[in-house]
Amino acid sequence: MHGAPTPTELSTSASPLPRSMRLLERGWLSANNIVFLDDDHNASVVDTGYVLHAAQTVALVRHALDGRQLARIVNTHLHSDHCGGNAALQATYGGAAHCAVTVPAGELQAVNSWDEDALSFRSTGQQAAGFSAAAGMAAGDLLQLGGMSWRVHAAPGHDPHALMLFQPEVRLLISGDALWQHGFGVVFPEMVGEGGFAATRRTLDAIAALAPAAVIPGHGAAFTDVTAALERARSRLGVFEANPERHARHGLRVLLKFQLLQQPEGVACDDLRVWFGDAELVARTACHFWPTLTLDALFSETLDALLLAGAASRRDHLVCNAGPA
Ligand SMILES: [Zn+2]
């Protein structure tokens, strides 16, 4: 007698990845890395994790490459958890001349001039290591990865420049943070009143129209119950659309949690408060939604919400990550 298959076994048996692909499932601090064995000599990777995990990313990718040269890095979008391993991988595999980075075309110039005001790292108070990109990609482009043609699709919402990749024969979608099995990434422009919910809805509609057989998300395991995931995402989006303030509070909690994930040994509460006060995105969100609230009060509210949800714990003056991820 066999027990009921686990969700992983189910998704694997329903939609095995093509033999030329390896999914390196990471966590929430580092996005998943998707390795493509292009031929016997060369390989590519989509997304490279967070900079604090760069050494681990290099080791994992090197193992997956099985002696091949990493000839290309592709980023679905340029958030710190998706491109933080670019510099280390590029350095390991012969520099920009031998390991070419492809980024969303709208951010190519900002990357190559390393414009931290245009890129998101400074405003979110997150870390990154500079790299150079060889090319931009845009909706409609075709990328050759793992011996297959992948169509680039726009995925604005979470990030206005975000892109996703779809392989029409095997109907696989690499969604970045546009769709996870349970939700989607914070719609950052909405935190500062710039709009993004409508774009998020259009992106979810675009995914539904592609009708993928399986989705490889930026975080979490690959999944095949795409219709259910879309239903959950649309319902969550509806809640946020009805209450943008609730979404902004959620966004602040996500940013604070990201700080905790970076420091498994815990963070001094005072240091966390300093980070909160220094992050430009936090200040702009506060200004947009709660102009009369002090940053101290907003910090306490945000931290209390994480503690109450069991997503953080407190030991004397230290705040530690807790709960899943
Ligand atoms: Zn992400």
- Of the three residues 220, 241, 262, the one that is the final residue of a domain is 241
How far does residue 57's CA lie from ligand 1's centre (Å)? Answer: 15
Q: Based on the fold, state whether residues 233 and 273 are members of the same structural domain.
A: no
pLDDT digits (tens, 9 = 90+) for 155-200: 999 999 999 999 999 999 999 999 999 999 999 999 999 999 999 9
pLDDT digits (tens, 9 = 90+) for 165-174: 999 999 999 9
How far does residue 83's CA lie from ligand 1's centre (Å)? Answer: 10
Supply the CATH number for residue 43's domain.
3.60.15.10
How far does residue 18's CA lie from ligand 1's centre (Å)? Answer: 24
Question: For residues 9 and 54, which has the higher predicted lDDT (pLDDT)?
Answer: 54
Q: Based on the fold, state whether residues 25 and 142 are members of the same structural domain.
A: yes
- What's residue 13's pLDDT? 41
Supply the CATH number for residue 285's domain.
1.10.10
- Report, as an integer, the average pLDDT of 86-104: 97
Q: Based on the fold, state whether residues 36 and 104 are members of the same structural domain.
A: yes
Q: Based on the fold, state whether residues 211 and 187 are members of the same structural domain.
A: yes
**Domain range for 233:** 7-241
How far does residue 31's CA lie from ligand 1's centre (Å)? Answer: 5
- What's residue 325's pLDDT? 55
- What's residue 120's pLDDT? 85
Residue 12 has pLDDT above 70, yes or no: no
How far does residue 1's CA lie from ligand 1's centre (Å)? Answer: 40
Mean of the per-residue pLDDT values for the chain?
Answer: 93
How far does residue 80's CA lie from ligand 1's centre (Å)? Answer: 8
Q: Based on the fold, state whether residues 48 and 111 are members of the same structural domain.
A: yes
Counting residues of the chain whose pLDDT is more than 90, the rounded percentage is 88
Q: Count Cβ atoms below 10 Å from residue 233 Cβ, excluding itself.
A: 23
How far does residue 300's CA lie from ligand 1's centre (Å)? Answer: 25
Q: Based on the fold, state whether residues 226 and 253 are members of the same structural domain.
A: no
- Report, as an integer, the average pLDDT of 96-104: 96
What confidence category does residue 9 fall into, taking pLDDT thresholds of 50, 70 and 90?
very low
Q: In angstroms, how far is the first alpha carbon of the chain from the final one?
A: 33
Q: Which strands form 100-104's sheet, in the order they lie side by side?
A: 21-24, 33-37, 42-46, 69-74, 100-104, 135-137
Q: Based on the fold, state whether residues 251 and 174 are members of the same structural domain.
A: no
Q: Based on the fold, state whether residues 203 and 192 are members of the same structural domain.
A: yes
Q: How far apart are CA 169 and CA 20, in angstroms?
A: 14
Q: Based on the fold, state whether residues 214 and 262 are members of the same structural domain.
A: no
Residue 127 has pLDDT above 80, yes or no: yes
How far does residue 292's CA lie from ligand 1's centre (Å)? Answer: 31
- Report, as an integer, the average pLDDT of 199-226: 97
Q: Based on the fold, state whether residues 80 and 190 are members of the same structural domain.
A: yes
Burial class (CB in 10 A: 0-12, 13-18, 19+), 296: exposed
Residue 1 has pLDDT above 60, yes or no: no
Q: How far apart are CA 218 and CA 201, in angstroms?
A: 18
How far does residue 127's CA lie from ligand 1's centre (Å)? Answer: 14
What confidence category does residue 323 fall into, taking pLDDT thresholds of 50, 70 and 90?
confident
